Amino acid sequence: MFAIHTVSKTLQSREMQLDLAITHIKGLIDFLRKYRNTGFTSAKNTATEIAAEMDVEHKFRERHVKRKRGEEELENSPEKVFETNYFLVILDQALVSLITGFEQIQEYVWFPV
């Protein structure tokens, strides 16, 4: 969140120039791509620390799914399900939005970045 907040504040500055904006957005896209691959563990550790400070249980809830006979059973921990269905989905949506906006800006820019 800190990286996104920093870039957002910089982009809102009156003195912001288009070439600098493109550089900041490009850096944020690179950061989010790396965070997508490695960030879940650090986010989970941070959440665990916060939960401990608040004296709250830090456990992923298990969901019981009814399966039909003959369906292959997938062994997914609640943690892996959360990572796949929420964490990665949200990061992918953010990346797609940033990349789309970045490409639209680059269409109107006359200089290479």
Residue 71 maps to a domain: no
Q: CA 29 to CA 97: how far, in whole Å?
A: 10
Residue 9 maps to a domain: yes
* Domain span at 34: 2-60+76-107
Residue 65 maps to a domain: no
Record the pTM: 0.70
Residue 69 maps to a domain: no
Q: CA 46 to CA 34: how far, in whole Å?
A: 18
**Mean pLDDT, each 10-residue run in order, the chain (113 residues):** 79 80 88 92 91 86 67 73 93 92 76 55
Q: How many domains does the chain have?
A: 1
Residue 45 maps to a domain: yes
